[in-house]
Amino acid sequence: MSRFYTYTSLEYCWTANNITNYPLTMATWFYPASVTLTMAMMGRGNTGVNESYDMLYLSGTAAGDPIRVYSKASGAAAAFATATVGVNGVANQWYHACGVIAGSQDRRCYFNGGNKGTETATDRTPYSVSGYALGAVPRLSFAFPWYGGLAESAVWNVALTDDEVAALGAGVCPLFIRPGSLVSYWPLGGMYDTDDGDHDMVGGYHLTPVNTPTTMDHPGGIIYPTAPLVGAPPPPAPVTPNPLSVLRPRVVCPAPYHETWNIW
């Protein structure tokens, strides 16, 4: 199972929390049902205004249908990085996207684990961010709704490296990538179908579905940890008795001292 969102119904899932500020990384598997629209896979924003947000999106109105990571602050022109290769007109199959915002003037975008594009010329930082969403951008008026499937979505509070993004694009589960900096992981199904998809299995930022998004098949080939790694404490280490504590002789001192020594 993964989540499927319908563009015309403005379906999305979101949490009214600012999970992390810069630096950050957003990554997800995506299945576009159309490649002619401008559609947000993931985003964070200020839900009190319309011009303060970041998003990872498919630019279906641009040549080659590229993936972009985009930042908007106040009325100033946006800043965005564009992956060097895009979907290129092919809908209805799974791809991987990743957006890294290392700072207010450092954006990197990846398609299928590579094809990196960068933007370092423009300083933009959204202010008063109050929510994260999958399938739309959280603003005063939620915008750029997604049409298609999303799965294995995650957020880190660091800028992932090229090699780490390549591993995600090869199907490695986000739980394996910089786990100490992984702040949210929404599998949206897969190995964790019993979790019903919208739960954050790392940070507890569970998503609220809006306008009844549905489900579809999960992308294949995801490399998961062995259950029950997530949400369960590790088993206790086995205790091996010290043979010396059993075999060494003991001598008891006579009264009035009443002491005992171990003889090595």
- CATH code at 200? 2.60.120.200
Q: Which structural domain range is residue 48 located in?
A: 2-216
The answer to the question of residue 244 being in a domain is no
Residue 233 lies in a domain: no
Q: What is the pLDDT of residue 243?
A: 44
On the question of pLDDT at 256 being above 70, the answer is no
* 259 located within any domain: no
Q: pLDDT higher for 17 or 243?
A: 17
List pLDDT tens digits, range 167-219.
Answer: 999 999 999 999 999 999 999 988 776 555 689 999 999 999 999 999 999 99
pLDDT in tens, 5-28: 998 999 999 999 999 999 999 999
- The domain tally of the chain equals 1
What does the pLDDT read at residue 263? Answer: 39
49 is a domain residue: yes
Q: Of the candidates 145, 155, 124, which has an alpha carbon nearest to the alpha carbon of residue 210?
A: 145
Confidence band of 223 (pLDDT split at 50, 70, 90): very high
String of b and e for 217-237 (b: at least 16 CB within 10 Å)? ebbeebebeeeeebeeeeeee
> How high is the pLDDT of residue 247?
39
Is residue 189 in a domain?
yes
The pLDDT tens digits for 28-62 are: 999 999 999 999 999 999 999 999 999 999 999 99
Residue 236 lies in a domain: no
Q: In sequence order, what DSSP letters do the residues of 8-23 get, joined into one string?
A: GGT-EEEESS----SS
What whole-number percentage of the chain has pLDDT above 70?
Answer: 84
* pLDDT at residue 3, as a whole number: 93
C-alpha–C-alpha distance, residues 247 and 212, integer Å: 68
What is the model's pLDDT at position 239? 43
Determine, yes or no, domain membership for 228: no
Name the average pLDDT for the chain: 87
This prediction has a pTM of 0.84
Predicted local confidence at residue 74, as pLDDT: 83
Is residue 111 in some structural domain? yes
